[in-house]
């Protein structure tokens, strides 16, 4: 993985430079072999030195067969890992794996950018909405650009649209514009996820400002004073790429890992007001041991939401931040004014995203309820058989989990509905409270959008795209109380 493109942004990453390079190399090799064979055949048909040519051909075939035999023998032993050929190991493994790489690269180039999701042939939408549900969403448009739009789920209408101008720079097909936020003058702020810039567009899609000094990802939310808090990663000094900024030691081993930060941005100018390193926050609050919980040594934190506290109460103070860490599997209440961690919200959460404040003593958290590496076995040394006597533990689905800050109780909301409808996303995902005790859910990996409540499923659909059989991958849909 190249650190300049590191960090998860959703299911898939689109066509990579590596895939195109593999295809180019494969094409050049095939062209060269074809050209050599064509020259040989051309010379033979012209009758130029048939006897000598025939002898030379036999010699070359014998040499080639011997060479292929040796290579096959080496490849077989490298597959078994029972022989070491020193510096030739990497050469043998690369050459033996090249056909698979070439096939995979061709398939990758032939598919749509992964900002589009295949729509199941049997997908049956549901729409029983009687009230408007206004959403702010971003998607890839038919001109290979990006659109931000206000959509009404009840009738599917777009009420306003912003199109990213070319001045923000060329966008690669798989890049996502993420979690837009609407300001009072009908301008929007958003970012190109895991990259830059963070930008503000006015109502006519003109750039008001752009901020390129950090890499932005996941979430952006507004503070009580109107400024913006954003999940970020810092560029390496002297370059525009992410690097391992964190480090810890275990005995004689040093582990380097990706740090995460939160930054406060002036909504009027785009200027950076403050930045806080999450590795420093954990270290300074004697919580760095939480890093060892993670099964991902490269990305043990994985900050995925920053929710500012807008008013003070018995449990929170205005200006506090609620920070969700997927790989730490907890939410932290952080006070930027003092650098203190007020509490660690740690309970039946697994790879959670999106923490929201319901009232002065209650939070809701989108609990993905998924094993961190999605159930992929990490120990390849021992392949145990599956027992005939199975101990069934659970059938997990994603949850909307309510947290009572007073009692510390965790309560899943509408668990039967979530299970019955198979709501599950291994990464990302969010919920938004709606009037009447209803909830909007973004099941991000599948691209399915829900409105649910005590009366059942009121809405279940996808954002249809201009590609037949595909819909848009959602990019952290935001529910709006009104527009404009």
Q: Calculate mean pLDDT across residues 310-324.
A: 97
- pLDDT bin (cut points 50, 70, 90) of residue 1 is very low
Where residue 243 falls (left for φ over 0; alpha for ψ -120 to 50; beta otherwise) is beta
Residues making up the chain, counted from first to last: 484
Any idea which of 180-184, 236-240, 459-463 has the lowest mean pLDDT? 236-240
Q: Sketch out the chain's domains with CATH numbers.
A: 3-110 (no CATH), 116-373+396-480 (2.130.10.10)
> What pLDDT does 5 receive?
41
Query: Which pair of structure tokens corresponds to residue 102?
Result: 């070439």
Whole-number Å distance between alpha carbons of 408 and 398: 20
For residue 15, pLDDT over 80 is answered with no
SS (H, E, C) 394-430: CCCCCEEEEEECCCCCEEEECHHHHHHCCCCCCCCCE
**Tens-place pLDDT, residues 250-298:** 999 999 999 999 999 999 999 999 999 999 999 999 999 999 989 899 9
State the pLDDT at residue 256.
97
Q: What is the pLDDT at residue 41?
A: 60
Comparison of pLDDT for 216 and 22, the residue scoring more: 216
**pLDDT tier at 44, thresholds 50, 70, 90:** low
pLDDT-based confidence at residue 347 (cuts at 50, 70, 90): very high
CA distances from 185 to 149, 203, 267, 344, 484 (A): 15, 7, 12, 37, 9
Q: What is the mean pLDDT of residues 416-442?
A: 97
pLDDT-based confidence at residue 78 (cuts at 50, 70, 90): low
Give the C-alpha separation, 14 to 276, whole Å. Answer: 31
pLDDT bucket at 9, cuts 50 / 70 / 90:
very low
Q: Quote the percentage of the chain above a pLDDT of 70.
A: 81
What's the rounded Cα separation, in Å, for the pair 207 and 200?
A: 6
Mean pLDDT of 61-67: 71
More confident residue, 472 or 58: 472
pLDDT band with cut points at 50, 70 and 90 for residue 45: low
Alpha carbon distance 475, 212 (integer Å): 20
pLDDT at 192: 94
Give the mean model confidence (pLDDT) for residues 244-250. Answer: 96
- pLDDT above 90: percentage of residues in the chain: 71
């Amino acid at each position: 993985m190249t650190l300049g493109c590191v960090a998860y942004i959703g299911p898939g990453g689109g066509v990579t430079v590596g895939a195109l390079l593999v295809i180019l190399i494969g094409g050049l090799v095939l062209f060269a072999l074809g050209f050599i064979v064509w020259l040989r055949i051309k010379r033979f048909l012209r009758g130029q030195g048939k006897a000598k040519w025939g002898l030379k051909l036999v010699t070359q075939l014998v040499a080639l067969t011997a060479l292929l035999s040796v290579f096959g023998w080496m490849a077989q032993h490298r597959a078994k890992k029972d022989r070491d050929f020193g510096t030739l190991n990497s050469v043998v493994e690369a050459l033996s794996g090249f056909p698979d790489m070439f096939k995979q690269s061709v398939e990758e180039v032939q598919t749509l950018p992964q900002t589009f999701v295949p729509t199941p042939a049997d997908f049956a939408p549901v729409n029983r909405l009687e009230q408007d549900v206004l959403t702010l969403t971003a998607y890839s448009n038919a001109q290979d650009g990006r659109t931000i739009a206000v959509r009404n789920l009840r009738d599917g209408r777009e009420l306003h649209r912003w199109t990213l101008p070319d001045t923000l720079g060329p966008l690669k097909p798989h890049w996502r514009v993420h979690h837009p936020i609407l300001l009072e003058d009908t301008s929007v702020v958003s970012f190109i996820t895991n990259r830059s810039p963070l930008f503000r567009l006015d109502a006519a899609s003109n750039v008001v400002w752009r901020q390129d000094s950090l890499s932005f990802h996941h979430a952006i939310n507004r503070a009580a004073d109107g400024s913006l808090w954003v999940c970020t990663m810092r560029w390496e000094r002297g370059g525009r790429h992410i690097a391992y900024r964190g480090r810890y030691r275990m005995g004689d081993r040093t582990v380097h890992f990706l740090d995460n930060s939160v930054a406060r941005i002036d909504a009027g100018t785009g200027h950076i007001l403050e930045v806080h390193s999450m590795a420093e926050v954990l270290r300074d609050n004697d919580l760095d041991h939480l890093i060892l919980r993670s099964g991902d040594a490269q990305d043990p934190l994985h900050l995925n939401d920053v929710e500012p506290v807008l008013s003070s109460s018995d449990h929170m103070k205005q200006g506090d931040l609620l920070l969700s860490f997927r790989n730490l599997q907890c939410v932290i209440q952080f006070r930027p004014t003092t650098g203190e961690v007020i509490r660690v919200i740690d309970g039946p959460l697994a790879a959670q995203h999106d923490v929201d404040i319901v009232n002065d003593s209650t939070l809701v958290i989108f609990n993905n309820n998924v094993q961190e590496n999605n159930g992929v076995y990490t120990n390849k040394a021992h392949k145990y058989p599956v027992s005939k006597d199975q101990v069934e533990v659970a059938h997990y689905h994603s949850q909307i989990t309510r947290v009572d800050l007073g009692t510390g109780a965790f309560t899943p909301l509408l668990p039967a509905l979530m299970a019955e409808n198979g709501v599950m996303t291994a990464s990302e995902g969010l919920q938004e409270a709606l009037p009447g005790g209803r909830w909007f859910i973004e099941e991000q990996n599948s691209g399915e959008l829900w409105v649910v409540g005590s009366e059942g499923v009121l809405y279940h659909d996808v954002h249809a795209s201009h590609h037949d059989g595909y819909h848009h991958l959602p990019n952290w849909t935001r529910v709006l109380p009104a527009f404009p």
